[in-house]
Amino acid sequence: MFLSRLLSIVSVSLLVGRVLPVPVDAPAFYTRGEDALDIVKRATPAPPYFVAYSDKWTGSESPPTPSTINGFNVFNLAFLLLEGAWDNAQAWTTLTDAQRSSIKSQYAAAGIKLMVSAFGSSDAPTSTGADPIATANTFANWVKTYQLDGIDVDYEDFNAFNAGNGSAENWLISFTTQLRSLLPAGQYIITHAPVAPWFEPNRWGGGGYLKVNSAVGNLIDWYNVQFYNQGTSEYTTCAGLLTASSSTWPQTAVFQIAASGVPLSKIVIGKPANTADANNGYMDTTTLASCLSQAKNSGWTGGAMVWEYPDAGSSWITAVRAQSWPVA
């Protein structure tokens, strides 16, 4: 244990100043600063990813203590909007730097990445004319200022995708490219949270998320795919979720998205915590657990995402992981 820690530190010091990912997750006993040790602390983890969003007020300005969310390894504070931080992302800004450092260390020690999620359903960045480069600059600075591990791009500008002229795709490609230039791979995590139908081939005039993936997928660590709110019977069985989506949204089940060129290990299955957290798409935890098991047996390692904490906490993710990657 101690030896491997030492080796990690040595190998990282050799990498300082180079653009190389550092696939090492070290304990968080270092003080802050933009140095090699900080890079180690923030390195992108390997799948599976178990991701919780937190927009709903929890009764505290602070994120939950890690034990409360045991079983998750990514916690997304929501949302960072064009007008500024909102809800639990805003609450995070009201803490002192020292408080943030302390909480961040506890999360790192528990193996949980703490990130911010951008946009959500309140923002339509392309339709409202936001500049992708300026927005990326502002958001990347925000991530650094507030000591987070990265940013989730929950872009939900449906009108822009529906326009079919590439405006959504081009916006996302510019935005992601600029974000990554400021938040380097291996040091910071960048995820996207598209709805599953956006991966349908030959449906979106601008190419949809398959276009985004082919252009900048190498800059995106994984996709928290929203398999909900797409119709009452969409993605609600293991077959519809994993192998064959309905004729409403063809070719958008997990393995179908992978067949279109998205790395299977980057496809994280997103679901609501309960029937109240989304219009539709809910699966009970036992059914979802069996789907995860089935997918894992076919070589998938992506993980699961939930909207949202605290409706889903440790007991939810423990149940969902029970048949695939049981929580210790």
Ligand X SMILES: *[C@@H]1O[C@H](CO)[C@@H](O)[C@H](O)[C@H]1NC(C)=O
Binding site for ligand X (CB under 6 A): 163, 165, 167
Nearer to ligand X, 126 or 285 (CB): 126
Nearer to ligand X, 167 or 290 (CB): 167
Shortest reach from residue 1's CB to ligand X, in Å:
55
Q: What is the DSSP letter of 209?
A: H
Shortest reach from residue 167's CB to ligand X, in Å:
4
Q: Cα(242)–Cα(97) distance, rounded to whole angstroms?
A: 43
The closest of 267, 303, 309 to 288, measured between CA atoms, is 303
Radius of gyration, alpha carbons of the chain:
19
Nearer to ligand X, 37 or 163 (CB): 163
Q: Name the strand (E) or helix (H) holding 287.
A: helix 285-297
Shortest reach from residue 207's CB to ligand X, in Å:
13
The closest of 33, 117, 118, 32 to 74, measured between CA atoms, is 117
Shortest reach from residue 123's CB to ligand X, in Å:
17
Shortest reach from residue 220's CB to ligand X, in Å:
23
Nearer to ligand X, 9 or 163 (CB): 163
Nearer to ligand X, 161 or 188 (CB): 161
Beta bridge partners of 80: 85, 118
Task: For residue 9, report the phi and psi dihedrals to the nearest 5 degrees.
Answer: -65, -45
The closest of 157, 177, 152 to 167, measured between CA atoms, is 157
